[in-house]
Amino acid sequence: MAMSMSPYFVSEESGADSDDFQISGWRSASSSRRSSSSSRRSSLGNPSLTGLRSAPPSTVYAEESEDELSFKESQSQAEPWKPNAYIKIGELGRGTFGIVYKCLCVDNNRHFVVKEMEACNHTYRQLAENEVSLLKNIDHKRIIRYYESEMEQDAVTLYTEFMLGGSVLRAIKKYGPLAEKVILKYTRQLIEALAYIHEKGIVHNDIKCDNLLLDDEDNLKLGDFGSAVQK
């Protein structure tokens, strides 16, 4: 086992899992509004079914470029952004009624996140619309950035910021226990996020390491407002 001198973690193991994801296909964002109910429900369980065609051989794997690593978000929260067409690079996670994908916009090579949520009954739809409604009205540096959303008869699609550093849970699993100064930093940044949403009467209801996300500068943002409520 090789030991790292990283100041951010107590210990670090070499040979950790790769961050590369195989591209499953590309699709037009606008085409999702014309998809049938049955095909949309099946695609939630299988990313490969959502591609309109296979990705070009030259792009079998997508990696973060130097341009993206140095890219600073220029759009304000008040300016919605939605890709015209994008590639699903890989699945980031799934919950009771939705799947989250890391995606790449084919127009500008910008990474972002797509959360596809089932809305096949009143309860699921209400939960999905609640998350969209809350994120639309949140604008804070410690909270995941909302871009845009799409409402369909049996599904809701949410477009949000991609966090290059992954979750705090993933970092702990990959590198081991956090150093004390990092815990203090993340705690301070989380408190900033919670103070902001509490001022708005919003309760997150699902604070856990898997929902604490890190950017490329190791700053924390609070994500996943699927369980959140507003008083």
173 in any annotated domain: no
Look at residue 44 and give its three-state secondary structure. helix
Q: Where are the alpha helices (DSSP H) in the chain?
A: 37-45, 66-69, 122-136, 168-175, 180-199
For 35, what's the count of Cα atoms within 13 Å in the CB-facing half-sphere? 26
211 in any annotated domain: no
- Among 206, 215, 216, 218, the active-site one is 206
The secondary structure of residue 9, as a DSSP letter, is B
Query: Of 118, 113, 69, 61, which is closest to residue 92 (Cα–Cα)?
Result: 113
178 in any annotated domain: no
Look at residue 145 and give its three-state secondary structure. coil
DSSP string, 13-29: -SSPPP--EE--EEEET
CA distance 99 to 171: 21
For 44, what's the count of Cα atoms within 13 Å in the CB-facing half-sphere? 22
Tokens standing for residue 157: 């699609």
Question: Distances from the Cα of 24 to the Cαs of 161, 171, 196, in angstroms?
Answer: 20, 25, 38
Tokens standing for residue 57: 């051989």
136 in any annotated domain: yes
Residue pair 229/205 in contact (Cβ under 8 Å)? The answer is: yes
Query: Of 78, 54, 143, 156, which is closest to residue 114 (Cα–Cα)?
Result: 156
What is residue 120's predicted lDDT score, i.e. its pLDDT?
87
Q: Is 206 part of the annotated catalytic residue set?
A: yes
What is residue 79's predicted lDDT score, i.e. its pLDDT?
60
231 in any annotated domain: no
CA distance 185 to 117: 32
Binding residues for ATP: 115
Query: Of 167, 149, 166, which is closest to residue 158 (Cα–Cα)?
Result: 149
What is the full per-residue pLDDT of the chain (231 aa) written as tens digits? 444 334 344 433 333 343 433 333 344 444 444 444 444 444 444 433 333 323 332 222 334 444 444 444 444 444 667 788 999 999 999 887 889 999 999 988 999 999 999 998 888 899 999 999 999 999 999 999 999 999 998 899 999 999 999 999 999 999 999 999 999 999 999 999 999 999 999 999 999 999 999 999 999 999 999 999 998
9 in any annotated domain: no
CATH of the domain at 133: 3.30.200.20
Q: In 3-state terms, the chain is what percent helix, strand and coil (to 5)?
A: 30, 25, 40
180 in any annotated domain: no
Domain tally, the chain: 1
215 in any annotated domain: no
Query: What's the gap between Cα 163 and its chain centre?
Result: 7
What is residue 80's predicted lDDT score, i.e. its pLDDT?
67
Instruction: State the residue range of the domain holding 105.
Output: 21-64+79-164
